[in-house]
Structures are given as structure tokens and as C-alpha cells.
Chains A and B, each alone.
Chain A
């Protein structure tokens, strides 16, 4: 089993839709759970992160971690065409290491 599994999509939704992006992971030692956004032909940029379990909200974005089931989610409310990008989950910080393990990414297209 891969350390981080992420459905690559692609996912296509109409503007205004609620989007749910998900990852599963196998390493119970992960402590930080990052979501990166990558626009076409650009480097990934940190969107938001959570520490341990629970929810974190930032505007239209909500990150959720369920450590008991090793499941990571990112929800986007009122999706906009500008949200069209690839979203990568990246858990890490096991044993204090700075390494992150990236999922393959889910390509999202929001159609106007």
C-alpha cells in the first residue's frame, strides 16, 4: 500500500458547486496534514494545513482530518473558476522530520 493515496480525478464541476477532495494515508505517525494547490505549469503553493485531527476553516476552504480512519479531506464551498488547479494532499512531520509525502494530486476544473 502506498503511504498516501489520492484519487487523481479529473474532477469537473459547475461554478458554485461544493467540492470534496480526499486522501487516505497509511502512516499513523503523521502529525501535520497539508493541502497544496498547483496551477498549471507552476510550483505547488500551500493552501492550508491542520495539525492532528479536527477541522480547520479558511474562507471557502475547510480541511478535515480523521486520524482514526487515516482520512484527509478538503472541501471547497461556492467553487470558482479560479479554483481550477491540481490539489495535493501532503501529510508529514513524523518524528519531527520536515519531510512531506505528497499524494499524486486531484485535477479540478470549475466550469463557469
Chain B
């Protein structure tokens, strides 16, 4: 299995631009998580989906952030408009069988907003 796939791996953009991050979970996994990691705040949960349905989006910082999971094999996290304080590493993770709490992480997308 290829593991969790994220794209792009690096993104540099200017303030005000729209940014879309993509994630493909491990095949057969039914829960997907989006995290943001910074030195100051550590690893923060933004949103998580179960069976493509958003279950908890309490970590989404503000309306500029949105996430979708149109099917079991694809999710996006969109920031519009982006701001310099959004600069961070964004991770996607997925969980497999029900009752297992092991989250498998992707390699992350390093976002820099100038």
C-alpha cells in the first residue's frame, strides 16, 4: 500500500491567494483527519470525517478554511484567502478498521504564505 498521499508537498503563495491541499487516504480507511503543525502550537486537529461525513470541525480556525470529502478516496482542504499566519505544515491522516485508534499520517504539505 502506498500510504496516505498528500499533494502538493510544498506550496509557496502570496497573501490573498486561494490554496488547495489534497489528500488520498489509505484504501479501505473510513476516517480522515486534517491537522496543522506549527512550532508555536504543535499539531492541531482541524477537522475529521467519518465515511465522508464531517464529524468534528471545531478546530477549523475561521471561515477562510473549508474541507470536503466528496468520496472515500479523496479530500481537500481549502484556504481562501490565505494569510501569512496560515504558514504551517498540513498533515492528513486516516484510520482503518473500526475500533483501531492508530492514525496513519501522510508526508505533509509545507505551506508558506508570503
Binds B, one of A11-19, A38-46, A57-65, A68-76: A38-46
Cross-interface CB contact of B31 among A42, A93, A98, A102, cutoff 8 Å: A98
Interface string of B76-112 (1 = CB under 8 A from A): 0000000000000001010100000111111110000
* A92 and B101 form a contact (CB under 8 A): yes
Q: Of residues 11 to 52 in A, which have CB atoms within 8 Å of B's CB atoms?
A: 32, 34, 41-46, 49
- Assuming the A-B contacts A43-B91, A43-B108, are A99 and B45 also in contact, with contact meaning beta carbons closer than 8 angstroms in the complex? yes
Chain A residues engaging chain B, CB cutoff 8 angstroms: 32, 34, 41-46, 49, 88, 92-93, 97-105
Chain B residues engaging chain A, CB cutoff 8 angstroms: 4, 31, 35, 41-45, 48, 50, 56, 91, 93, 95, 101-108
